[in-house]
Structure 1
Amino acid sequence: MFEAGALTPDPYILFLLGLGALVILVSWGPAGLKRLPVSLAILCVAIGYGVFSLGWLAFNPDPRTFDTVTERMAELVVIVSLMGAGLKLDRRLGWKAWGATWRLLAIAMPLTIALVAWLGVGALGFSLPMALLLGASLAPTDPVLAADVQTGPPGSGENSEVRFHLTAEAGLNDALAFPFVNLAIVAAAGGLALGPQLAEWALVDVVWKLAAGLGMGVLVGRGLGWLMFSGRPNALAGVADGLVALGATLLAYALTEVVHGYGFLAVFVAALTIRNAEREHDYHRELHDFAEQVEKLLMLLLLVLFGGAIANGLFDALTWTDGLVALAILLLVRPLAGYASLFGTGLKRREKAAIAFFGIRGIGTVYYVAYGLNHGDFGSSERLWAVVGLVILGSIVLHGVSSTPLLRLAERR
């Protein structure tokens, strides 16, 4: 006879069941969903929402409760994604070849931060520091969830102007948003009214940390590139496997953080440097594929937890005004800022429109919000998390459904 409660699933067994399902989704999901207007991200959020709504799990994956864990998990997914993004860029770094990317970074991102912060103060009633944190967190194009609109694996030829610039932008703007997140932290401490604190922010958080990230990325990338592709009989490219991509990611990130630089920048630059060490070697594909598999598994796990957070009340603090602001950020702020920054690039109108529209928000935004709240005094964060979560969910659905048809239109010759 069954005892009472014997049919209640064990949470550990449910975890193993979910992990197994995620591994299968990582392997088979892209092929199975290729012809459907549903992305893996949408499916995982729906699964998370459904599982946690059933009440089988007492665990509540609320980022407001597990702020440090949220920060670290999102951080790991982002740096692995940055390594994969850098490895798959076939185009050499150059001022003209990357012209649209530089414009997106120098014009679109600061403009997006300013407009979102303005909405945060004027429409949402946030304090200036919190509004600035909102703007800085929502400005970067996410390197994780933007995989469907990025270039293909190394040497695959899937390297249109739209895909290239979205990949390059996502690789760099996560690091370049960091000074603005740190500025919000300074503002929360009253530093905007204090000249010395503002000067320290400019020298340390802007100049030093960017320079250290760039320098360490080149140093690590050149060192590993030499070990892999030096032409010696014992060069590692002939004997190593794709696991090296994870080691390179952690090495570049950790060494840069030790010298107080931006590890996000170092990882992407290291990947570009490794790619340029010997551009035609098949080992790049193996490195990229391993990084992509790890990234997808971690991403899908986080998205299931995100769906669970929604089921457990992440959006309870939302108002109608918050919903309208979230729509404005997705449909007006990024598209207009992105399109305006691309004038004079020589891109076709449909290419500029596609690049401007696909400013996907996701795991990077989660990281920056968690980081800012863990390092600054911003007060109650319920509405901030609710607005950010709504923008991320809207981006997952809107961009996930539209990416395939819109990219086909933009890339049509």
Structure 2
Amino acid sequence: MTTAHWFLLIGILMLARGLTSTLLQRSPFTSAIIYLGAGLIVGPSVLNIFYFDPLEQSALLEVLTEIAVLISLFSAGVKMPVPIMLRRWRAPIMLAWVSMTVTVAMIAAFGWLVLGLPLGACILLGGILAPTDPVLATDVQSRHPGDKDELRFNLTCEAGMNDGTAFPFVMLGLGLLGLHEIGDHGMRWVLVDVLWATIAAIVVGAAGGAAMAHLGWRLRGQQMKHEVLDDLVGLGLIAVVYGFCLLIHAWGFLGVFFAGVALRHGELRLASTAGIAPEQIDSTPAHAHKETLEEGEPPPIVSAEALVFKEHLERLSELMLVLLLGGMLSLGYWNWRSIGLAVFVFCIARPVSVMIGLAGTSSSWRIRGIAGWFGVRGIGSIYYLMYAIQHGLPHALARDLTQLTLVVITLSIVVHGISVKPMLSHFWGRRRRAAGQ
């Protein structure tokens, strides 16, 4: 494809997405399905006028997916309700840690017993496919700051945390393949990759977000005495937290998510101290500026203002990366191994791990069942795969894991994308009827 063809294709998709937004909301399809279909048509599966080799372009694809995940994780963190209470956060914490570990173990067992992969590759495959995606799962995630729906909160918070909790398993898999140092009996992996990298990331993210909340509030003040470019502040916070986490060998994805959580928590706590209720902040237009604020209207805060810009970036990254995904797939990828793995992940590994993780929590059985189905795989899984390839994964094994991963992601986009709207409509419809009674 020439540059002109690329501009035409992406421009048409952008126009179609922007002009048919209302129509798309009423249709049974998600935007990701449309982008994927376009990629499949122009890719090697149909017209074969474009092919994006993920192995040859792994370095570029790693950077693109890394940026997309970072923006989405920060947006997810900003949407988390506050104050933070263990009772409210217990379910997503269990999903992100217990269910995550169970999923990795089950996928690894499937890879060992059914696919015939070496042990290191099995654990690596589990780390790649176990985390749910914060980029493509927007239909089942919190829609705005202050969204108190339990199901959306659990899925959003899980996606925000498990993109960091997946990294230790990716590193363990690479270590067993001889591509990462895990120490004698795995002690270095436990102490550094699990404990240090996780705790340090949470501390750095929380500290960075809290510091930015205080700095932004002090600079701008309640009377809007100082102009703050919220979009740049949000992006800058992402970059600083992520960069610092990389320097100290902490999980940057986890740090960025908790930076978003701490930023919103700190700003709302400061607003509460100033006598502004959280409901007032959440109802303030995200595009409000000091010239348009009415008497008594609370000033905008960095977390709320920056969220709008981040959502636009999320839409652009979704379009580009899902389009490239369609251009990576060839007909040879579709076989019993890849399809069987997808069926196992969707119908066995995810539901079983969710039931185990949420055992003993206050979540209803209906919420457990829906959460067990909507474990969307997507851009995050592509990132981990590219990360492994860039760390020296043997070519034959890299090609095999690429085939398996891309088919699982593709089927997740289609299957979960088609089922999300009718299932959630039925779920919330029953809840509204029950509340009316």
State the TM-score, normalizing by the size of structure 1.
0.90
Alpha-carbon spacing, 1:334–1:288, altered in 2? closer, same or farther (3 Å): same
1:4-403 correspondence to structure 2 within 5 Å = 11-25=2-16, 27-52=18-43, 53-57=46-50, 60-155=51-146, 157=147, 159-189=148-178, 196=184, 198-230=186-218, 232=221, 239-279=228-268, 280=278, 281=281, 282-283=300-301, 284-310=303-329, 313=330, 315-380=331-396, 381-403=398-420
Measured in 2, the distance between the counterparts of 1:237 and 1:243 equals 15
Instruction: Tell me if structure 1 keeps the 8 A contact 2:171–2:180.
Output: no
Give CA deviations for 1:5-55 in whole Å, capped at 9, x if unaligned: xxxxx7111122233234335534542211111110000010111123434
Partner of 2:297: none
Q: Percent identity?
A: 34
Measured in 2, the distance between the counterparts of 1:199 and 1:172 equals 23
Measured in 1, the distance between the counterparts of 2:366 and 2:374 equals 12
Alpha-carbon spacing, 1:317–1:405, altered in 2? closer, same or farther (3 Å): closer
Q: Is the deviation greater in 295-304 or in 196-205? A: 196-205
Partner of 1:407: 424
Measured in 1, the distance between the counterparts of 2:377 and 2:225 equals 37
Measured in 1, the distance between the counterparts of 2:225 and 2:70 equals 23
**Counterpart residue type for residue 358 of structure 2:** L
Q: How far 1:191 moved relative to its partner?
A: 7.5
**Counterpart residue type for residue 305 of structure 1:** L
CA RMSD of aligned residues (A): 2.2
Instruction: Tell me if structure 2 keeps the 8 A contact 1:335–1:356.
Output: yes
**Counterpart residue type for residue 409 of structure 1:** H
**Counterpart residue type for residue 24 of structure 1:** L
Measured in 1, the distance between the counterparts of 2:16 and 2:131 equals 27
Q: How far 1:197 moved relative to its partner?
A: 6.8
Measured in 1, the distance between the counterparts of 2:395 and 2:123 equals 14
Instruction: Tell me if structure 2 keeps the 8 A contact 1:41–1:303.
Output: yes
Residue 37 of structure 1 aligns to a residue in which SS?
Answer: coil
**Counterpart residue type for residue 68 of structure 1:** A
Alpha-carbon spacing, 1:319–1:217, altered in 2? closer, same or farther (3 Å): same
Measured in 1, the distance between the counterparts of 2:25 and 2:391 equals 41
Alpha-carbon spacing, 1:46–1:271, altered in 2? closer, same or farther (3 Å): same
Alpha-carbon spacing, 1:29–1:207, altered in 2? closer, same or farther (3 Å): farther
State the TM-score, normalizing by the size of structure 2.
0.85
**Counterpart residue type for residue 199 of structure 1:** M
Instruction: Tell me if structure 2 keeps the 8 A contact 1:39–1:401.
Output: yes
Alpha-carbon spacing, 1:352–1:28, altered in 2? closer, same or farther (3 Å): farther
Give CA deviations for 1:355-395 in whole Å, capped at 9, x if unaligned: 11111100001111111222144451222111111111111
Q: Is the deviation greater in 168-177 or in 211-220? A: 211-220
Instruction: Tell me if structure 2 keeps the 8 A contact 1:330–1:391.
Output: no
Measured in 2, the distance between the counterparts of 1:308 and 1:237 equals 47
Residue 342 of structure 2 aligns to a residue in which SS?
Answer: helix
Instruction: Tell me if structure 2 keeps the 8 A contact 1:338–1:357.
Output: no
**Counterpart residue type for residue 342 of structure 1:** L
Alpha-carbon spacing, 1:56–1:236, altered in 2? closer, same or farther (3 Å): farther
Instruction: Tell me if structure 1 keeps the 8 A contact 2:92–2:157.
Output: yes
Q: Is the deviation greater in 384-393 or in 245-254? A: 245-254
Q: How far 1:130 moved relative to its partner?
A: 0.9
Measured in 1, the distance between the counterparts of 2:311 and 2:193 equals 30
Unaligned runs of 5+ in 2: 269-277, 282-299, 432-437
Measured in 1, the distance between the counterparts of 2:422 and 2:350 equals 20
Measured in 2, the distance between the counterparts of 1:185 and 1:378 equals 11
**Counterpart residue type for residue 168 of structure 2:** P
Unaligned runs of 5+ in 1: 1-9
Q: How far 1:348 moved relative to its partner?
A: 1.9
Give CA deviations for 1:253-274 in whole Å, capped at 9, x if unaligned: 1121122211101100100011
Instruction: Tell me if structure 2 keeps the 8 A contact 1:228–1:236.
Output: no
Instruction: Tell me if structure 2 keeps the 8 A contact 1:191–1:198.
Output: no
Q: How far 1:174 moved relative to its partner?
A: 0.4
Instruction: Tell me if structure 2 keeps the 8 A contact 1:123–1:325.
Output: no
Q: How far 1:205 moved relative to its partner?
A: 1.0
Q: How far 1:235 moved relative to its partner?
A: 6.7
Instruction: Tell me if structure 1 keeps the 8 A contact 2:214–2:267.
Output: no
Instruction: Tell me if structure 2 keeps the 8 A contact 1:140–1:364.
Output: yes
Instruction: Tell me if structure 2 keeps the 8 A contact 1:150–1:164.
Output: yes
Instruction: Tell me if structure 2 keeps the 8 A contact 1:253–1:263.
Output: yes
